[in-house]
Each structure stands twice: as structure tokens, then as C-alpha cells.
Structure 1
Amino acid sequence: MGTTSERPRATRTDDAVTALVSLWLIAGLLLDAWAHSNRPGLETFFTPWHAVFYSGFAATAGWVALLVWRQWRAGRRGLAAVPLGYGPTLLALVVFALSGVADMVWHTVFGIEESIDILFSPSHLGLAISMAVIVTTPVRSVWRDPAPGTLARLWPALLGTGLAIAEVMVFLEYGNALLLRATWIVTGFSETTNNSATQIAVRMLVTNAVLLLPLLFLARRWGLPPGAATLCTVPLLILSGAETGGTNWSTLFSMLIAAVGVDLLALALRPSADRPRAYWLFATLAPLFTWSLYLGVASAAVGRLPAIVELWTGAPVVAAAVGLALGALMLPGGPVLDPAAPRS
């Protein structure tokens, strides 16, 4: 059998399985994050949470190896046996494995982290970076198809994006506004004698950027099919609920309703690279609605508005202004070139 040099394309089913085994991997990460937040005194690397985490990695690595092996059997050799979009995944799997070994050695030598130092451990950062590449594999796989996306075609990419958002926010826990209870939000925006108001405002802006940028990225390439914002947000809701034991239920509820509202906004505006004004308007209104609802539900749950009017009225406007700036950076105007199109 002769060899072929043309890179194969993964099928929709292939990408769907990739997204699902990545879900296994991230589920292990969420369990580990829950354990570190709710089980103080962990003294060993060998825990049930790590078992789920690293078995998810093994399943993901095995699945990607199977895809390459299928192409090898078909006669392709070298890089030609690797489906488009899966090349960085192979490299990330190697980095993940090395970081996992480094993490075991790190814990053996320095012990188990129990505070914010978890988020800055070099071995953990190696795991984080490689995981982000792994879970976004379906996005790269479908990238060369610029046709307007449907939920049926894009759901593996959307799920991968949502898993990446949750994974990033694991390591930006100190900037996650979804971890805050309603009482903390209202009380924090009611006085400025300490840093509570500043911390809440910063958390809102960090979370705003992490949630909005992927949606703008997807909208620029394919548009946003119905349900895209919700599918991208749910993994972060699950993460935030796990880390707090569900004590922030009103905050999670507000963000779920906000995600549905953002989906309806996208349906009405149809933001895309070919509709820049609609794109910029979406980038502005989505955070304005999201963070107005966030503060409104917190106030309703507590039974009163924050005492400082400027904070609870101005914070959503600042988030909207940041959204507009991000939209302008992502789509400054003019035609967007198709990276899959031939170059002269």
C-alpha cells in the first residue's frame, strides 16, 4: 500500500469522542480542585481524585493514539498520519505526562499545597497549559471549515471551549466571581474601608474576560449557534459549585440565566465577522446584561441593594466597556481572511 502525504480530517464522531474523553479529564481536575478546597490535610499524591484525573488523561491519550494508528494503517506516515488539529494535541499529551511525573516528584519533595500556592506550582502550570491545548482539540479540528456553525456540528468544539474556560478558571480561582456568595457581593459593595469592593470588581472583570473572549472568538469564525453560550458556561458553573459546596447557589443561578440570555441576544443580533456592528453590540450588551443580573440576583437573595450606588450601577457598565474593547480588538473592522483559503 502506498503512502499518502495529505493530512486527514477527523470526522464529527472523532471530535465528539475527543470532547467526551476530555470531559473525563476535566472532571478529574474538578474533583481534585474540590478535594483541595474541602479536604484540608491531604498528604499524598495518590488520591481517588488523582486517579480520576490521570485515568482521564490515559483515556484521552489512548483515543488520540488510536486516531493516529488508524491513519497509519491506511498508509499514511509521519505527520500525514495525524489528523488536522491534532498535532498540537500530541505535543500537549507529552508535556502533560512529563508534568504529571514532575508533580508527583514535587509533592514528594515539597508536600501537598493547600492554599493559593496550588495555582502557582510549576508542575501544576505545566498540566494547566497542556490541558488547555488538549481540550480545545475539537476547535482546531473544525477550524478549517468556516461555514456558519450549527449546534449539531459545533457542539464538540463548544464543549471543548467550555472545558477550557473551566480549566483556566481553576488556575485563576482568585479571580473567579462565581465563587462569591450573595451576601459577600452585597456586603462587599456596601463599604470601601477595606479591599472587599476592589476584590469583587476585579473578580468580575477577570471572569467577564474569560467568559466573553471565547464567545467572541467563536462568533468571529462561525457565528454563535443557539445554546453556545450556555454550553460554554455550564462547565464553569459546575466547577464553581464544586469548589464552594453549592453555598453560592444564587450566584450560579444568576450566571446560568445570564448564559441563556446571552444565547437569546446572540440569536437576535447574529454577531459574526460579516456583521461587525452586531458583533460589537453583542460584545457590549452581553457583559452589561450578565453582570447586571449577577448583582440583581445577589441583591434579591439578600433582600437589599448594596449601599454604594456607584458600585452596583457602574460595575456592569465597566464590564460592558471592557467587552466593547475586547470586541474591537477581536474584530477591528474590514474583511476577515479565511486561514484555510489558498494564498497567492
Structure 2
Amino acid sequence: METPIERAGTQPMRRSARTTLVSLSTETPGELEITQPTLPLMSIEPAVAPARKTVGGRFFDWLIVITSAWLTGGLFLDGWAHAHIPRLETFFTPWHAVLYSGFLAVALCHIVALVVYHRRGRAWRQAMPVGYGLSLLGIIIFALGGIGDLTWHVLFGIEKGVSALLSPTHLILALGGTLIIQGPFRAAWARPNRTSRPSLASLLPMILSQTMLLSVFAFFSQFIHPFVYAWSAVPASAVLPFYGQALGVASIELQTALMMGCILLMLRRWRLPFGALTLVLTISLSLMTVLSNHYWLIPVALLAGLSADLLLWWLEPSTQRVLELRIFAFAVPVILFMLYFLAAALLWGIAWTIHLTLGSVVMSGIVGLLLSYAFVHPHISIDR
């Protein structure tokens, strides 16, 4: 008579674990027989190694930063031309040439990297370095936007004023461009931290990438930017007495939200070294002065950046030091716009009342403070 265990040992199986069992033999009563049946407990499939992701190096990061700066510089040159040359009635301009040649340069870098890594054995989906996959999508969007922009100009003419910033094809170009220039930022975000206090040199591609993002945001909202339009110097109109005041306060609040959003996102991920915020604020705000010829505001941007770095060094805000993060988020815009109004008072005078001037400064701090809660949530205790 065959026992159930011995019958199980005769079952055909693919690949399974072998277990030593003890059973009673029916042929020799009283004796124990040691058998090694193979039990159908589980099937063991050969392990498949996950596809390795392509990790780009610092050379590629810097290559994209340089070509992205070319692209961003072309954007601001084109903006300067629209602001200073009233009879700009053609798509084919030297400034468009700088803009689109910058796009071709950055697109070529991505395509070459894609092909090179694919030839080294990567699948097409894994061939692009980590963080740069969305940049390829941005290249496609930008190319389609460029073709659409040319067609739009032929059909409807050259945009002027705010229309030039909110034109549908220009917004498509902006979307594609921001996806491209954020490649080094996304790549740095995906890499593990090698040290708790990274150096300025190691984070510089990421910092410049984020600076260009903030600059593009500011460019497309320049119609409501205090470094472009100094509404605080404009006397109240008899017809619309609150028009300039409302625009001035709204411009401060909007640009504070954009600026602190970019800064807090970096603080959410890294402990920023001294000098990082000086670069971010000085470059992004100085580019806006080019559009309006308000070059006297460049020292304001520099001093605000240095002050932000000093606050960063003193407070050490982070996700673990939440109170310090809240203070930092409030203080940075307050210092920036206090310096802004001080410079405005010395150079051309302020038409606003002291109540409105200081109130708008405090409002900028409140915007920064509230925004910090979106990046670092308050602790929630759950009663059981």
C-alpha cells in the first residue's frame, strides 16, 4: 500500500524544492524508511534582472545647462526686442534666430545622448539618462509650438503687449521649454545624496536649472511684475483710483508665490549651500530689468539674494526644522520688497501711502509663509 506522501513524491513537476521526509515502509514492518520526495510546494522561475536605468553624468548636466541658457537667453532677447522695437512685424528676426538655434542645440544634445546609450545596449525607453525623459517630450512640444507659432503669425500677425505673452502658441513653447530646462533639476532630484551638506559646485547645474525655470515664469508674467512696472511710483488716477495700487500689490504677491515656490522646492530636497539663493535671485530678477531698463534694481536683487543666503546659513531651515522654515519663508520676500521700496524711494519716489507700502511688504511675507505649508505639512496628531 502506497502512502499519500509517497504518492506525492511521484508527481511530475517542473522545478521545485526538495524536502527530506520520514515515512513508514509497508514492505518491512517496524522499519523506518528515509525518503526524499519532491513536493509540489512552489514553482521557482528564473529571476529576471530589472532593467537598469541610465544615469547621466555631470558632463551631460552641464551640456544641457549651457544649451538651456542659450535657449533662455534667446527668449529674453526676443522679449527685449518686442519691448524696444515697436515695428517688429516678422517672424524671421535675429532674436528668433538665437531662440530657435538654442532649441536646436539642446535638442541635438538629447538626441545624441539617446542614440549613444541605445547603441551601448540600452532599450529605447531606458536609453535617456534619468531625469531627462520629460525633456524629450518638451522637445517635441517645443518643435510643434514653433511650427504653430509661425503659422499663427502668418494667419493673425505679430502679437503685441500682453497678447504676446498669452498667445496659445507661445504658451505651448513655454511648456516645452520648461520641460527641457528642468532636466538637470530632475536628474539631481533622482540621485541619492552623497553628503548631508553638498557643495555649491556639486549642486550648481540643479541651481541654474531652477533659476531658469523661475526666470521663464517671471518672463511670461512680466505684465504683473514689480521689477518691470513700478506701480508704486504712479499717482492714483482720478478715473480709476485703485487701478495702479491693485496691480502693484497683486504683482508683489504673484511674484512672491513664484519665487518662494521655486526656493522651497529646493529646500524640500536639499540643504542649500551659501551662494545658491544669491545666484537664483540675482540672475532671475536681473533678467527682468533688461525688459524694462530698470537696471538700478540689479543691486536690490543682489542684496536680497545675499540676505536670503545669510538667513539660510543662520536658520538652517529644513523639513526637520519646521519653525525655522516658516520664518525663512516669511522673511525672504519681506527683505526683498523692503529693499525694493527703499531703492524706489531714493530714486524716483513712492506715490503710495506708508500704510499701503508696508502692508504690501507684509502681504508678501504672508504669501511665503502660507506657501511653506504646501511643502512641509504641519504635524497631525490622531487621538485613539
TM-score normalized with structure 1 length: 0.90
1:234 corresponds, among 282, 288, 305, to 282
Contact 2:223 2:229 in 1 (8 A): no
Q: Which amino acid aligns with 1:124?
A: H
Residue 190 of structure 2 aligns to a residue whose secondary structure is: coil
1:280-335 Cα offsets, whole Å, 9 max, x none, are: 11101111111111111211223x56551211121111111111100112111359
For 2:212 and 2:323, locate their aligned partners in 1 and report how far apart those are by CA, in whole Å.
Answer: 29
1:326 corresponds, among 345, 368, 371, to 371
Residue 369 of structure 2 aligns to a residue whose secondary structure is: helix
1:115 equivalent in structure 2: 161
Contact 2:331 2:365 in 1 (8 A): yes
Contact 2:301 2:336 in 1 (8 A): yes
Q: Does 1:193 align with 2:241?
A: yes
For 1:305 and 1:43, locate their aligned partners in 2 and report how far apart those are by CA, in whole Å.
Answer: 37
Contact 1:4 1:76 in 2 (8 A): no
Contact 1:224 1:271 in 2 (8 A): no
**CA-CA distance at 1:190 after TM superposition:** 11
2:91 corresponds, among 45, 52, 58, to 45
Contact 1:146 1:222 in 2 (8 A): no
Residue 179 of structure 1 aligns to a residue whose secondary structure is: coil
Contact 1:142 1:157 in 2 (8 A): yes
Contact 1:136 1:161 in 2 (8 A): yes
Q: Which amino acid aligns with 1:327?
A: S
Q: 1:86-97 alignment to 2 at 5 Å?
A: 86-97=132-143
Identical counterparts, % of pairs? 32
2:74 equivalent in structure 1: 28
2:332 equivalent in structure 1: 286
**CA-CA distance at 1:214 after TM superposition:** 0.6
**RMSD between aligned alpha carbons?**
2.1
2:201 equivalent in structure 1: 152
Q: Which amino acid aligns with 1:284?
A: F
For 1:180 and 1:220, locate their aligned partners in 2 and report how far apart those are by CA, in whole Å.
Answer: 32
**CA-CA distance at 1:146 after TM superposition:** 4.8
Gaps of 5+ in 2: 1-48
Pick closer, same or farther for the CA change 1:4–1:71 going to 2, 3 Å: farther
For 2:265 and 2:54, locate their aligned partners in 1 and report how far apart those are by CA, in whole Å.
Answer: 25
Moved more, 190-199 or 78-87: 190-199
Moved more, 252-261 or 159-168: 252-261
Q: Which amino acid aligns with 2:301?
A: M
For 1:257 and 1:266, locate their aligned partners in 2 and report how far apart those are by CA, in whole Å.
Answer: 14
**CA-CA distance at 1:249 after TM superposition:** 2.5
For 1:186 and 1:95, locate their aligned partners in 2 and report how far apart those are by CA, in whole Å.
Answer: 40
1:130-189 Cα offsets, whole Å, 9 max, x none, are: 1111111111001123524321111111111111111111111112111135xx524458
For 1:312 and 1:175, locate their aligned partners in 2 and report how far apart those are by CA, in whole Å.
Answer: 17
Residue 143 of structure 1 aligns to a residue whose secondary structure is: helix
For 1:214 and 1:123, locate their aligned partners in 2 and report how far apart those are by CA, in whole Å.
Answer: 25
Q: Does 1:72 align with 2:118?
A: yes
Residue 205 of structure 1 aligns to a residue whose secondary structure is: helix
For 1:159 and 1:329, locate their aligned partners in 2 and report how far apart those are by CA, in whole Å.
Answer: 23
Q: 1:264-275 alignment to 2 at 5 Å?
A: 264-275=310-321
1:57-110 Cα offsets, whole Å, 9 max, x none, are: 000001111221221121111211111111111011001001000000100111
Q: Does 1:205 align with 2:253?
A: yes
For 1:205 and 1:280, locate their aligned partners in 2 and report how far apart those are by CA, in whole Å.
Answer: 17
Contact 1:230 1:263 in 2 (8 A): yes
Structure label with greater radius of gyration: 2
For 1:53 and 1:210, locate their aligned partners in 2 and report how far apart those are by CA, in whole Å.
Answer: 24
Q: Does 1:171 align with 2:220?
A: yes
For 1:180 and 1:124, locate their aligned partners in 2 and report how far apart those are by CA, in whole Å.
Answer: 22
- Quick one: higher RCO (CA 8 Å, sep 6+), 1 or 2? 1
**CA-CA distance at 1:233 after TM superposition:** 2.1
Contact 1:7 1:79 in 2 (8 A): no
Gaps of 5+ in 1: 336-344
